[in-house]
Structure 1
């Protein structure tokens, strides 16, 4: 079953359960997917949908930090609830040990030795970690390894 079909099924279940918060989050995700499909005139595959979900999670994390600075914990809680719903559609997150192993493998595969080779390492890593780890955090780990 494709990720898009799973989203549609979860949307129906949320409607039947009258879970407004979950339904709203899934509808936001479906609207973003539809917008991307219309803009690019293609049907998104599972990998593209994962990229959309990952981006939406990142946006919500950024919003949470801004709301907390502004003293709006009520809005931060809403964003955190949306993150929990969105994360259900992401694959299992990588552990720190798995990330370290992938970084070592990517450095060896790309032959990177200095900081200037970071782009090569990230090009190898990104397909393996997309949706399974925070790319920014992994980038920082690669930077420390190459420094």
Structure 2
């Protein structure tokens, strides 16, 4: 399973379980990935997604 799909799946699980903290973090990460895709006008590959997640972890 690709990393973006795993993040989406984990977010759905967190929503079903009522885990708002995890849900909010995953939403933030997915938003950062989507913003990077819009900025670059391309679909990110696994390395690009990892790069975005690494940048978010540093913040």
Query: With structure 2 as the length reference, what TM-score do the two structures score?
Result: 0.95
Q: How far off its partner does 1:45 sit?
A: 0.8
The Cα RMSD (Å) is: 0.6
Q: How far off its partner does 1:52 sit?
A: 0.8
- Across the two proteins, how many residue pairs are aligned to each other? 59
Structure 1 unaligned blocks of 5 or more: 60-147
Which structure ranks higher in relative contact order (CA pairs < 8 Å, sequence separation ≥ 6)? 2
Cα deviations by residue, 1:33-81 (Å, 9 ceiling, x for unpaired)? 110111111001111111111111111xxxxxxxxxxxxxxxxxxxxxx
Divergent runs of 4+, >3 A = none
Higher-Rg structure is: 1
Structure 2 unaligned blocks of 5 or more: none
Query: With structure 1 as the length reference, what TM-score do the two structures score?
Result: 0.39
